[in-house]
Amino acid sequence: MCGIVGFLGGRWSADLSPIRTIRMMADAIAHRGPDCAGSWCDQTRRLAFGHRRLSIQDLSEAGHQPMLSHSGRYVIVFNGEIYNQRELRVQLERSGQAPRWRGSSDTETLVACFDAWDIQTTVQRCAGMFAFAVWDRMTSTLMLARDRLGEKPLYYGWQGQGDSTTFLFGSELKAVRAHPAFEGKINRGALSLQLRHGCVPAPYSIYDGIFKLESGCLLSISLDAREPKVWPYWSAVATVENGIAQRFTGTPEQAVDQLEALLRKSVSQCMISDVPLGAFLSGGIDSSTIVALMQAQSARPVRTFTIGFHEPGYDEATLAKAVARHLGTDHTQLYVTADQAMGVIERLPTFYDEPFSDVSQIPTILVAQLARQHVTVSLSGDAGDELFCGYTRYQRSARIWNKMSHVPAPLRRLAMKGVAAVSPNVWNSMADAVRPMLPASLHKANIGDKMHKAAAIISSDSFDELYLRMMSQWDNPARTVIAGFEPSTLLTDNAPAFNGVSGMQRMMALDMITYLPDDILTKVDRAAMGVSLETRMPFLDHRVVEFAWRVPQSMKIRDGESKWILRQVLHRHVPRRLVERPKMGFGVPIGHWLRGHLREWAETLLDPARLRREGYFDPAIVRLKWKQHLSSEHNWQGQLWNVLMFQSWLENQQTQTNSAHSTNEDTDDARQIL
């Protein structure tokens, strides 16, 4: 796991040393690779590569990057892991195309495959998580690549004016910002999307002219063909449609066997490491399955890590401890105080260098910090919900739509107005009055806000509109952003057809191509790499993903129980009684904290004079939300957190920019090939 940076073109001169510039860019993301650094320049072609290394496999000098292929044709900077690299080496050796190996790194395997096959064929044969840049010295072409599901990030774009115009790329925006050509104009369309989704979805970034390479795509560019050409080498849409069309026809027991075999292999490959390795364990279905399969293949206790909160409804530590005890793992847990959690908040802009406001970012950073004290690599159970229908909103939304879609739209809109006419506080009071008469499973918090959200959903004119509203914090964010607008996204003008899927499957598929890479994987990557921890996600092996979409929906939802097939795998290792419980989100009581410990911090960021001076948000709209939240008239924690994360990020920019331009000559192990 590493950080990669680079630039092509621009003005090269003595006062703009390419080596000094590439070092600054790489040092800006030193947290992604604290073990060593390297650089490579081609003065004639005006190309520079930089690399920061977190050494995981082949800790020797043979794994150093940037790396040249044995033929000398390709130069690469690589971030990630190729889990099947040993299999790829065997294929090269059997075909007589293997070089004389210098070491055992997957980077060397990758460039050897480029020499033997070509870049696209190679990535199609790889199983792993990665983002890389490769320079073809024969054709003077730069190519960028990102893994199929989007675990590893990669930003790119042209910046600067005139002869200073430069193509920049990097693992994080910090690296791109460190280049002298970087302009840094905020994209108000991207800001509008951040208010809606809590993140900036690909291909956009918070900056004009800087983009995210989308999942499963390759990009090529050269100084002769300056318009980036982007194309997919793997299609999530085709994977969904092919899975539905080629449905698994075996028995449920055979399906469970096949899923366990695929997961066992994926977990086994994810456990290959030359440094200490462990796993996050929440006690839920997904992480417990991963840990159970790890322990089943390990001769020693697996290191597992959990954090807990003292606030009711947010603590998973007790459940995780019970699973760990049963499996015999070497378990570490930490109960986090409100002060510890809030200490993370002021550092969020340094972890997430574009506005990001999924509140589960806070516990994710805390558990990553805990794990990093003991290991360098941690496996995670992320993506189980998207693949095996785990989110409660899947069943709930499908059920609402099936009932309400037959009701004429005018009547549904009338019902919405009726529900919205009653304030959330009144709905909460009515719920409190009847709660003693209801079973515990129906005891829900913030009923009033849920009623208002449901009212908006049932008035939707289509299932896609229903899904968009389900996934939105602000329903019309462009009204709140001054001069705001919403660019086209996969959830608006460009939604895939996903032929043959049901409404519930459509939500899962849309989550897989939007919410998963833009929110979940971004959250985990930045949190973990911010403390120099590599995370690996066995559920995202593309062979697991492809099989999951072949599994009939009846094996994912059975008798109202989600993730049925995955539960059967887990029950072979962990008793049902230890893991069967209502789904719990990985969150913090941020709404309560905004009325208490965080109130002064938030008030400073939401000061109306400040909002007017900065000129990004309509102060009247934001202040009304803030006032209603403080009075408990509404719970606007999601909407306010989106605004606060932008405000905090904006405040942090000048400090972060200064830091990005600093150099550290003493620790830089840079190389020059001119």
Which listed residue (2, 36, 41, 126) is catalytic?
A: 2
Handedness of CA 267, 268, 274, 278 (dihedral sign): positive
Q: Which residues contact 87 (CB under 8 A, 6 or more apart)?
A: none
Please give the order of strands across the beta sheet that includes 2-9: 36-42, 47-53, 2-9, 166-170, 155-159, 211-212
Q: Six-digit token pair at 597?
A: 């410990």
Provide the sign of the torsion angle of the four alpha carbons 555, 556, 557, 562, taken in this order. Answer: positive
- The secondary structure of 123-184, three-state, reads HHHCCEEEEEEEEECCCCEEEEEECCCCCCCCEEEEECCHHHCEEEEECCHHHHHCCCCCCC
**CA–CA distance, 380 with 378 (Å, rounded to integer):** 7
Q: Are 319 and 626 in contact (CB under 8 A)?
A: no
Q: Are 205 and 173 in contact (CB under 8 A)?
A: yes
Active site residue 2: yes
Question: Which of 224, 289, 234, 229 shows the shortest CA–CA distance to 262?
Answer: 289
Residue among 150, 166, 127 nearest 216 (CA): 150
E-strand stretches of 171-292: 211-212, 217-221, 229-232, 277-280
| Strands 74-82 vs 277-280: parallel, antiparallel or unpaired | unpaired
Interatomic CA distance for residues 382 and 155, integer angstroms? 23
Give DSSP secondary structure letters for 311-358: STTS--HHHHHHHHHHHT-EEEEEEEPHHHHHHHHTTHHHH-SS----
Cα(606)–Cα(619) distance, rounded to whole angstroms?
8
Neighbours of 311 (CB within 10 A): 14
* Edge-to-edge strand list for the sheet holding 217-221: 67-68, 74-82, 128-136, 141-146, 217-221, 229-232
Please enumerate, as own/partner, the contacts of 462-468 that have beta carbons within 8 Å and a separation of 24 or more: 463/401, 463/405, 463/503, 463/506, 464/491, 464/495, 464/506, 466/397, 466/400, 466/401, 467/397, 467/491, 467/506, 467/507, 467/510, 468/492
Give catalytic residues, as residue numbers.
Answer: 2
